[in-house]
Amino acid sequence: MSKRVLVSSLVGVAVIGGVVAGGLAMASTATEMTLENGSARYVAPVGGNAGSMTFTTEVRD
């Protein structure tokens, strides 16, 4: 096996290992989602116009 193939294989394994380790680290952090500043607005239907319901909140992880 040539040195180029060996070196490129080792670099590839190192890169893939880093990506997998980073993904596992991100998946293992348990955080609780929070909802803040929630508001709701309802507009009743009038005549032939449809009503609407709007809900807005800030979600953080």
pLDDT at 57: 87
Distance CA(1)–CA(32), nearest Å, equals 50
What pLDDT does 14 receive? 74
- pLDDT tens by residue, 3-36: 677 777 777 777 777 777 776 666 555 677 788 9
Comparing 9 with 57, the larger pLDDT belongs to 57
Q: What's the predicted TM-score (pTM) here?
A: 0.39
- Nearest Cα to Cα of residue 35 among 16, 21, 55, 52: 55
Amino acid at position 6, single letter: L
State mean pLDDT over 50-61: 86
Tokens of 10: 């080792």
3-state helix/strand/coil string of 40-61: EEEECCCCCCCCEEEEEEEEEC
